[in-house]
Amino acid sequence: MGTFLVLMGLIAFCWGLGGLLKSFIKRKKKKKNLIILAVAFLLMIFGSLISPTPNYSSAKTTTHSEKIIATNKRSNQATKKQKKLEAERKAEEEKQKQEAERKAKEQEKINQKTAEATTALEQAEATPTRENYNTAAAAIQAIPNGNQNLSHRLATLDATIKTNEAAEAERQRQAAIQAEQTKQAAEATQKEAQAQQQNNEQTVYIAPAHGKKYHFNPNCPGLNHANSVVAISLQEAQAQGYTACKRE
């Protein structure tokens, strides 16, 4: 309403001002135009007085709209922030889940390798051979991050095997010495028997009518006066009571 009155007053002011100018030019009466100008001036003043209320309402409406826009903006920002935090939380949960699965698989592998190594070590401890030790050592080395307890038992087993190996080496050395001595004794006995056999089969000479001596040489001086000389084996001569001639 105030704006309308101001507008009407402005139109009337322009109308009155135009009429007043014409009055000056044509030298007519100016009273009517002055009244119009006065009324127009009053309308503009009155309209201006009642115009602040609509202007205030407009400003108030503008401020309210700005508040709504600001509130929506803050709400959108809060929503975006919440979504971002939710995405980060889910990403962290997924990361933790994957890490837990990785650790679970790693632990399962450790448990399996530990069980295999324990079985191999127990077999090696029951039968402490170098071959079984090597199998157990390879199984223990396959355990991720190792196993201190099994490694300690493996070291004890290694010491036991080394002791057994040293004892076995000494036993074999003694056995080799004994075998060599037995072999040498057998060879000596065989040589002695062969020599004895050769001696027994050796040909000697006797004179049955001329004493009880046997001679290795048929030309022995002890046979010079013999009527007859007989060639027989040493064994036969000894069996008949003959003894060796001392002249030879």
pLDDT in tens, 150-163: 999 999 999 999 99
What span, in angstroms and rounded, lies between the C-alpha atoms of 228 and 226? Answer: 5
Query: What is the pTM assigned to this prediction?
Result: 0.44
Selection from 69-73, 80-84, 93-97 with the highest mean pLDDT: 93-97
Pick the last residue of a domain from 50, 72, 90: 50
Number of independent structural domains in the chain: 2
10 falls within a domain: yes
Radius of gyration of the chain (CA): 71
Q: Is residue 148 part of a domain?
A: no
Statement: residue 56 has pLDDT above 50: no
- The answer as to whether 110 is a domain residue is no
Q: Residue 85 pLDDT more than 70?
A: yes
pLDDT at 54 over 60: no
Whether residue 213 contacts residue 240, with contact meaning beta carbons closer than 8 Å, is answered with no
Is residue 179 pLDDT above 90, yes or no? yes
Distances (CA, A) of 2 to 7, 9, 40, 47: 9, 10, 13, 4
Does 229 map to a domain?
Answer: yes
Residue 237 included in any domain: yes
Q: Is residue 133 part of a domain?
A: no
Q: For residue 151, tell me if it sits in a domain.
A: no
Q: Is residue 216 part of a domain?
A: yes
Domain that holds residue 232: 202-244
Please say if the pLDDT value at position 75 is more than 70. yes
